[in-house]
Chain A
Amino acid sequence: MPARALTSLGAVAVAAAAAALAGCGGDSGGAPATSGPIPVRASDSSCEVGQTTLPAGTHTFAVTNAGSQITEFYVYAPGDRVVGEVENIGPSLTRNLTVELPAGTYQTACKPGQSGTGIRAPLTVTN
């Protein structure tokens, strides 16, 4: 009985996860990324984004934490609306953030220590 309950439970769980994933992935098409990931070098006191002007479309930022504190990387639309974020970038790790960016003006931000408003820089996305 426990074994059978377990098997069906596992099946339900996997099915539920698969359904959730399939549902979520549907609208992530958009324009393809133009080239490789955009490097971002985040330290305890700086935030160097490899490109500050981008064509509209889906882009991946590869954020490397060169500092000693845990950091986060954000892309903000006007009014500090979060377009994308990647949390928990531990020291000496690189983590990716993939976002779909329509044309407009944005801000990038690194948050060393995971608090405050972050080290901001403008980001322009053109058509």
Chain B
Amino acid sequence: MLGNYLIGLREGLEAALVVSILVAYLVRVERRDRLAAVTGGVSVAVAVSVAFGAMLTYTSTSLLRTFEAQEAFGGTLSIVAVGLVTWMVFWMRRAARSMKAELTGRLEAALVVGTVAVGVTAFIAVAREGLETALFFWSAVQAAESTAAPVSGFSLGILTAVVIAWLLYRRTVRLDLRRFFTWTGAGLVLVAAGVLAYGIHDLQEAGWLPGLSTLAFDISAQVPPGSWYGTLLKGTLNFTPQTTVLQAVVWVGYVVPVLVLFLRPVRTAARQPAEVRSAA
């Protein structure tokens, strides 16, 4: 029961956090009408994952049946997700600056591009782990003939992830605008860095990148993957207690420049009108 609960929590947490930030963002810029993009992205991702998981479980399709194909699929989505989230974070930063300058027309223009980006990001955030989660779900359903514990444990885990994300949403949505953008943006950068490191590990396991057994550190004794805190670290930041040198290097190489660029002071519109116009 507990093991399956933790799997549900871990698989659901990252997607739930990203989606809750997207929702909080749209609410903060007072564009609740664009929430349909998030709902749509999530729904399509869930539908595709569940349908495909069922196809793999109950039919003899050869699509994505092999380890390599699943790895390539997951790895590709991971890298696309990192690109999208990074782009979104900087787009949010620009939009925040536009709002400050009360350039509503320019904000509107940013939101047209933004709606598509928000929808696609919601889709990728869920689809990335969606297939793995759906395969797990269907194997739990199959086991339900003998015991319902796995299905209920897993479902409770997903539910807990959604509740955690909802509590975080309640908290962030009340922050003042500047803090809101800073915290959610920095949070998204850390999530994206974890996804990138995870993708690197996938490619190492597939043998496309070297250094699978060259570990930067191994603290699996201190942070067991099966523990609740190991689950939370894995679910939010994709932190793995056994991290390879390449993963660590890529993680730092992503986080440091991106956070520096993201947190650099925003020049105000009054002083730099030309800058705002070209950036927005």
B73 near A91: Cβ-Cβ < 8 Å: no
- Residues of A in contact with B (beta carbons under 8 Å apart): 2-3, 5-6, 9-10, 12-14, 17, 20-22, 24-25, 28-29, 58, 68-70, 80-95, 97-100, 113-116
Majority SS of interface residues in chain B? helix
A13 engages B225 (CB within 8 Å): no
A22, A85, A99, A115: most-surrounded residue (chain B CB, <10 A)? A115
Contact between chains at A93 and B140 (CB < 8 Å) = yes
Q: Chain B residues with Cβ under 8 A from A94's Cβ? A: 139, 142-143
Nearest CB on B from A93, distance (A):
5
Question: Contacts A3-B36, A93-B140: A114 and B225 contacting too (C-beta < 8 A)?
Answer: yes
Asked if residues A24 and B48 are in contact (CB atoms below 8 Å), the reply is no
Most chain A CB within a 10 A radius of its CB, from B65, B116, B120, B242: B65
Which of B67, B72, B135, B147 touches A92 (beta carbons < 8 Å)? B147
- Let me know if B199 is at the binding interface, CB within 8 A: no
Q: Chain B residues in contact with chain A, CB under 8 A?
A: 1, 3-4, 6-7, 11, 33-34, 36-37, 40-41, 44-45, 48, 52, 61-70, 72-73, 76-77, 115-116, 119-120, 123, 127, 132, 135-136, 139-140, 142-143, 146-147, 149-150, 153-154, 205-207, 212-213, 220, 224-226, 241-242
Closest approach, in angstroms, between the C-beta of B59 and any C-beta of chain A?
13
Task: Indicate if the CB atoms of A70 and B135 lie closer than 8 Å.
Answer: no
Q: Which residues of B contact A85 (CB under 8 A)?
A: 67, 205
| Partner pick for B220 among A28, A80, A88, A115, CB 8 A cutoff | A115
Knowing that A28-B63, A93-B140 are A-B contacts, what are 5 other residue pairs whose CB atoms are under 8 Å apart, sorted by A's residue number? A6-B36, A70-B225, A88-B7, A88-B11, A95-B136
Among candidates A2, A20, A80, A88, residue contacting B33 with C-beta atoms closer than 8 Å: A2
Q: Contacts of B62 on A, CB cut-off 8 Å?
A: 25, 28-29
What would be 26 A-B contacts, judged by CB atoms less than 8 Å apart? A5-B115, A9-B37, A10-B40, A12-B120, A13-B44, A13-B45, A24-B70, A25-B65, A28-B65, A28-B68, A68-B3, A69-B3, A70-B226, A88-B11, A90-B136, A90-B153, A91-B1, A93-B4, A93-B143, A94-B142, A94-B143, A95-B135, A98-B65, A98-B67, A100-B66, A115-B224
